[in-house]
Amino acid sequence: MTGLLRRIGVAVLAIAGGAVNRPTQTPPPFFFNHYCGGLGGIIPPSGVQGQSPWWGRGRSPQKQPHRSPKRSFFSLLPFLLCLTLTPLAQASPAVQTVQGPGGMAVYLVESHANPMVEIRLVARGGSVYDPPGQAGLASLTAWMFNEGGGEMDTTTFQERLDFHGIALDANASQETLLVRLTTRTAYLEEAWARLADALLRPRLAEVDFVRAKAEQRAMIIKDQEQPQTQAALLLYRMLYPNHPYGSPVAGTLESLPRINLADVRRFHADVFHAPDMVLAVAGDIDLPQLQALLNQHLASLDATPSPLAAVPEVTRTLPPDAPRLRRVEMDLPQTTLLLGTIGIDRHDPDYYALYVLNQLLGGSGLNSRLSTEIREKRGLTYGVYSRFVPWSKSGPFLVAMKTKTASTDEALALVNQALRRLATEEVAEAEREEVIQYLTGSFPLHLDGLGQLATTWGNIGFYHLGTDYLDQWPDRIRAVTRADLTRVAKRIVNLEQFCTVMVGKGLQKKE
């Protein structure tokens, strides 16, 4: 019965919108979708790629979320019961694969229900490839992506896009430069022509570059007042003191002046090499149409491997004298807490076990251990979350929350207590089963949009996870045992290797 109620709860949140009159356990956008973004998750149910990061002009304007009219639970009950009595972990939409121009990997999911097409172009070119002293280069390159192409300057280019209702932008994360293209089927030809202009014939004008740097600089200054931003930037420097993962994607006020337009042009040319790119398409288009558009518009892609160096290995163990706790003073009514340690890479065999373990500790929903102890029982926060971000090398495992200044010490002690319990006590079978049922039951709800499908298949292609990845995902989650959870908890959750950042008021007095 508990599993049934879980699945009903998922559907209520997905369908009823504002019908649940309390905060939902949605991860705070900065901690997990922005700074910690990139392609690591490929997670149904919680992928990250495609979210618009705060550091790049390539993002789309942030819109107020649409709220559906409130519906009562009982008006939805007939639908929800049908939903829960039907196996949710059904086969994922079929994907077709083909090799594109220059050896580019191409994935297509056909869906002809609506005349729309979503395209994701994923290239190896994030901030991890910024040259020393030039942090922010990948971000500026992404910012410049839709600033004109071919014979068109920025204004003409944007007007052409707007006239046809085409959305084209790009953003950089730690490991990738992601291009997003959305169009109606009727304007596919125009959309691909503009993509080709931006990709192969970028304008990259000095006037636009000056504007990009000015906006990036203003954003960095503004973010100095944001506690979440400062906590994440500092924590990443603590976890990755000698690795480019610790470098801010947006750059710094010191690094931006060292970047010139020639650097952006060179980086753009180095990133977009077909063997290091993945194209994922979802929507109202078939394979012959897609192949014709690829051959017409992208035939001149560079077919040689990218000259960018491989991502360096991560040192998993922090030096004994490395700082484990940092306090940052800000005159705020709440304290921001961010804890982290080095986690796993995307091909680690413990990925699925850590996925289940993370959900149990502080994943989505309101019944995680952290949420139960800190939010439900004591009311110390509106939300406390854990996430892990597996990149091509070991990414971070994180816990984040905000709490009143007066409850800072109590809240932090409870987080550490939950981590210690996870590392030392075996998970009960009933708890394991409940978490796995929740994860596999909610799985299809996160593959129901064209943008989600294109994003997910771009991730799968980038990390070479195989075309059976989505079909196998539920079974691999179900295969996680209690012994797996115990072993992975002991491996990852070592409190001596955790770093903690606190941002708030009156913290320095606690030294």
pLDDT one-digit tens code per residue, 103-113: 999 999 999 99
Q: What is the pLDDT of residue 509?
A: 55
Q: What is the pLDDT of residue 127?
A: 97
Q: What is the 3-state secondary structure (H, E, C) of 190-203?
A: HHHHHHHHHHHCEC
What interhelical angle do 206-223 and 261-271 show, nearest 10?
90
Q: Between 23 and 499, where is the model more confident?
A: 499
Which three-class secondary structure state does DSSP give residue 341? strand
Q: Which of 26, 168, 49, 113 is nearest to 452 (CA)?
A: 49
**Model pLDDT for residues 425-480, shown as the tens digit of each residue:** 999 999 999 999 999 999 888 788 999 999 999 999 999 999 999 999 999 999 99
Q: Which domains does the chain have, with CATH numbers?
A: 2-6+29-39+314-510 (3.30.830.10), 96-297 (3.30.830.10)
**Total count of residues recorded for the chain:** 511
Q: Which residue carries 């077709």 as its tokens? A: 96
- Per-residue pLDDT at 52 exceeds 60: no
Cis peptide before 45 (omega within 30 of 0): yes
- Per-residue pLDDT at 494 exceeds 80: yes
60 and 70 in contact (C-beta within 8 Å)? no
* Residue 77 pLDDT grade (very low, low, confident, very high; cuts 50, 70, 90): very low
Q: What is the 3-state secondary structure (H, E, C) of 69-124?
A: CCCCHHHHHHHHHHHHHCCCCCCCCCCEEEECHHHCEEEEEECCCCCEEEEEEEEE
- Rounded to 5 degrees, φ, ψ at 279 are -115, 125
**Mean residue pLDDT across the chain:** 84
Q: What is the pLDDT of residue 364?
A: 84
* Residue 39 pLDDT grade (very low, low, confident, very high; cuts 50, 70, 90): very low
Q: What is the pLDDT of residue 10?
A: 33
Average pLDDT over residues 407-414: 96
DSSP 226-294: -HHHHHHHHHHHHH-TTSGGGS-TT--TTTGGG--HHHHHHHHHHH-BGGGEEEEEEES--HHHHHHHH
